[in-house]
Amino acid sequence: MDMLPVKRGILSVTDKSGLAGFAAELAGFGVELVSTGGTRKMLLDSGLEVKSVSDLTGFPEIMGGRVKTLHPGVHGGVLADKDNPEHLSTLEEHGIGTIDMICVNLYNFAKAVSEGQDLRNAVEQIDIGGPTMLRAAAKNFHSVLVVPNPAHYPRIIEEMKANNGCVSLKLRKELAAETFALVSEYDSMIAKYLSEHDA
């Protein structure tokens, strides 16, 4: 698929700079916004209509937010190849909707380390759901737009304005490559931290 219509997106970010404006532009294109926790509250406070991820999963966030997006209701929609009739049939069979955009940036583990937090508290800043969604969307860039950094918001909106609410395969592939590099760097930072600190 060359030009991808963006109809539904999940937004769940630590760095909320520029997000309200980006989400408002998306809503203007008729994009259904889905979000989690603090991101959803911020968008609701900005006057936007935003569904909860729990609306997709039929399950509440649990364990203090440790488990919220790790569910077929999310990942089925992210990983489905929209050019594969069997994938689309499986989604329909299980009542799962497609997801066209994942806008995620990760818990700030570097900040926890720089603050000298003890090991147990620092570990709580290791993001699990975020990298999983980023990797899934990046793998499936033929069918999904992954947005790992607020710096890309203006370019995405510019493309959507120029292409009737669609984004190009070229942009999706570029952001997928950047996403894998970011997740790799994040994991390397965590591995270094754990190897240097006693249990």
Q: What's the confidence (pLDDT) of residue 24? A: 98
pLDDT greater than 80 at residue 91: yes
Tell me the Cα Rg of the chain. 17
Strands 166-167, 4-5: pairing is antiparallel
Mean pLDDT value of segment 95-103:
97
Is the separation of the CB atoms in 99 and 133 below 8 Å? no
Question: What is the C-alpha end-to-end distance of the chain, expressed in Å?
Answer: 48
Q: Give DSSP secondary structure letters for 106-152.
A: ---HHHHHHTT--HHHHHTT--SHHHHHHHHHHHTTTT-EEE--GGG
Residue 105 neighbours by CB under 8 Å, 6+ apart: 13, 14, 15, 130, 148, 149, 150
How far apart CA 112 and CA 14 sit, in angstroms, is 13
pLDDT band for position 110 (50/70/90)?
Answer: confident
The residue length of the chain stands at 199
What percent of the chain stands above pLDDT 70? 99
- Residue 58: CB atoms within 10 A of its CB come to 9
Assessment of whether the complete model's pTM goes beyond 0.85: yes
Beta pairing partners, 116: none
pLDDT in tens, 21-80: 999 999 999 999 999 888 999 999 999 999 999 999 888 888 877 888 889 999 999 999
Q: What are the chain's domains?
A: 4-196 (3.40.50.1380)
* Mean pLDDT value of segment 119-145: 93
Mapped onto helix, strand or coil, the DSSP state of residue 83 is coil
Confidence of residue 134 (pLDDT cuts 50, 70, 90): very high
From CA 193, how far away is CA 173, in angstroms rounded?
31
For the stretch 164-191, pLDDT in tens is 999 999 999 999 999 999 999 999 999 9
Q: In this structure, what are the phi and psi dihedrals at residue 9, rounded to the nearest 5 degrees?
A: -140, 145
- pLDDT > 80? residue 135: yes
**Whether residue 138 has pLDDT greater than 90:** yes
Q: Are 64 and 40 in contact (CB under 8 A)?
A: no
What is the rounded average pLDDT of the residues 85-106? 96
Per-residue CA distances from 147 to 9, 57, 81, 150, 169 (Å): 10, 22, 18, 8, 13
Give the mean pLDDT of 147-166: 97
CB 11 within 8 A of CB 1: no
Which pLDDT value is given to residue 98? 97
Q: What is the pLDDT of residue 63?
A: 84
d(CA 187, CA 110): 11
Q: What percent of the chain has pLDDT over 90?
A: 73
